[in-house]
Structure 1
Amino acid sequence: MSETIAVVRASRPNFLLLAPLCAGLGLAVAWQQDQHPGLLHTVLVLLGAVLAHAAVNLLNEYDDFRSGLDLLTRRTPFSGGSGALPETPSAARQVLWAGLGTLALVAAIGLYFLWLRGLPLLILGAAGLVLVLTYTRWITRSPLLCLLAPGIGFGPVMVLGTIIALGARLDATALLCSLVALLLVSELLLINQIPDAEADRKVGRRHLVITQGPRKASLLASGLLLSAYGVILAGLLTSTLPPWTTLALIPLPAALWVSRMLPEVLDHAERLHAVLGLNVAVLLSTLALMCVGLSL
């Protein structure tokens, strides 16, 4: 029973809300185009998104346990993994098989939509699988790839993949929504690497917090966060986004506060954790409000 609980914890269920919100952006774009998918297809794309996110979490937890990173990291609510495997080492193999099995289910859902929609899904689907399989062992060794890969996975791959899977078209609104998701998710992963930088360095990772230092990384994170709102504003001004999408600007004051405070709290753990927590709330609420605004 303890090993089963460890597998569930290793999937990091408290973080899995991000995937359905990104897939939800694709679903909202389909609705905005008057393309109303059936319940089965809606459930499958949302399930596939959650399973893909769970798969990368499980494989990441397994690899971090094998590399010894889990024993070096100081865990926070937003970084450092779940701690499931250091507490239950006997569950390591189950976590690995759970990750591979979950990824196989994602591939099966992808093959169904590939059969249904044709080759346009092949490139996005293959890119998604490559990102999941290579993120921890290889992508985290390249600062630029480590920055962009999470955003690409949750942005273009997940948002645009959902749109194609549901039979909608890739228009300017779809591309803009995928860009917003890319910027927000890349910012989220970058900011959450700040507390883990020293432990990551010891196991050979090379992300921007390590190569450029926390202060420069925090300024870049602030730029990515505010750029996402700039993209939303540009979409509203050009009528690429419908007027109700203005709702997504509601978290902007909190985003400005995060951007201003982040460089100032790098050496203060408790204050940094508060900023990280607000940053998560800003990201999730912005994506949720975009989904609502596109659907109205």
Structure 2
Amino acid sequence: MTQPLEPTLDALQNPFARYVAATRPAFLTASLMACLIGLAIARHDGLAVDAALAAVTLLFALMAQAGTNVLNDYYDALNGTDARNVERIFPFTGGSRFIQNGVLTLAQTRNFGFVLLACVAAAGLWLMLASSPQLIYIGLAGLFIGWAYSAPPFRLNSRGQGELCVAAGILSITVGTDFVQRKGFAAAPFIAGLSYALLATNLLYINQFPDRKADTEAGKLHWVARLDVQHARWGYVLIVLLAYAWLLSVVALGWLPMLALLAFLALPLSVKAARLLLRHAAQPQQLGDAIKLTIAAMMAHGALLSLGLILG
């Protein structure tokens, strides 16, 4: 597999393009799809979707993930994880390489990350005024997860809680998007968004295999680092099973419409990715296709689920 070229200062002379690229925009689609599911469940429940509120919510979610991505690069540079990562599969693992390749300094990366989170806070305040003050609970939880995932003293991913952070963060976007339209809490977005959140978690999980050696040396003891590789690989399969078992169960219980099962059309992508991981877990450089399939499975599942909710 031919990997894309890593970023360099010569290739990113335009400051605006440089900072946009530092957010890893291609991966912001995870938040985009989480928003779409939130809007779809609101529409399914008979709400008239407010386009202006939906647009601001989407911007809010994208900035939150962008800020998390940038701060993750900063804290991984501080602990030396990305610098020692020689088994990375760029652009999927090993960070953005902006600090390591001299495109941005540590201070620039730190400041940019916190500016993005400050913008998220401002957007959240506006959305609170337009919907309900209770939105602050979702916003504060999302900001805390985005910061504490990498930052000391919490360093949640290093303590084996990274997967929980990703699932909770993605689910908070779906719940928050629905909340803004509904102007209150409901069980529906939790129920609808969990299977997608689990598949998004699997992207973090599989990405940790190429990073395993560097993360272990830096003290980032997530579950892929804690477990023997031959045992850790089955975690991916377990998460896929949980995602689809949840979706099947909530449809069987009548909590989601039958057409939500359209999302099962994405299952073969997850199965193919799992087979590649089971075969190549000990050869991380062979996992590029499995990572791509994991992204495709996540996005296809989210899109099909949203379609099923709207049509249902």
Q: Which residue of 2 aligns with 1:121?
A: 135
Q: Which residue of 2 aligns with 1:243?
A: 258
Deviation at 1:159, TM superposition (A): 1.0
Give the CA RMSD over aligned residues. 1.9
Q: Which residue of 2 aligns with 1:280?
A: 295
Residues 1:216 and 2:231 are matched in the alignment? yes
Sequence identity of aligned pairs in percent? 29
Q: Which residue of 1 aligns with 2:117?
A: 103
Deviation at 1:289, TM superposition (A): 1.0
Residues 1:48 and 2:63 are matched in the alignment? no
Alignment coverage as a number of residue pairs: 294
Q: Which residue of 1 aligns with 2:156?
A: 139
Distance 1:24 1:171 in 2: 17
Residues 1:206 and 2:218 are matched in the alignment? no
Taking structure 2 as the reference length, what is the TM-score of the superposition?
0.88
Distance 2:104 2:168 in 1: 34
After superposition, give the CA deviation of every residue in 1:20-50 in whole Å (9 maximum; x if it has no partner): 1001111111111111222210101111111
Q: Which residue of 1 aligns with 2:29?
A: 17
Distance 1:243 1:254 in 2: 21
Distance 1:126 1:171 in 2: 18
Distance 1:295 1:27 in 2: 9
Distance 2:222 2:285 in 1: 23
Deviation at 1:11, TM superposition (A): 0.7
Q: Which residue of 1 aligns with 2:98?
A: 84
Taking structure 1 as the reference length, what is the TM-score of the superposition?
0.92
Q: Are the equivalent residues in 2 in contact too, given 1:10–1:61 (CA < 8 A)?
A: no
* 3-state SS, counterpart of residue 72 of structure 1: coil
User: Residue type of the partner of 1:136?
Assistant: S
Unaligned runs of 5+ in 1: none
Deviation at 1:199, TM superposition (A): 0.6
* Higher relative helix content: 1
Q: 1:32 aligns with which of 44, 47, 58?
A: 44
Q: Are the equivalent residues in 2 in contact too, given 1:6–1:88 (CA < 8 A)?
A: no
Distance 2:133 2:46 in 1: 23
Q: Are the equivalent residues in 1 in contact too, given 2:274–2:290 (CA < 8 A)?
A: no
Q: Are the equivalent residues in 2 in contact too, given 1:69–1:200 (CA < 8 A)?
A: yes
* 3-state SS, counterpart of residue 69 of structure 1: coil
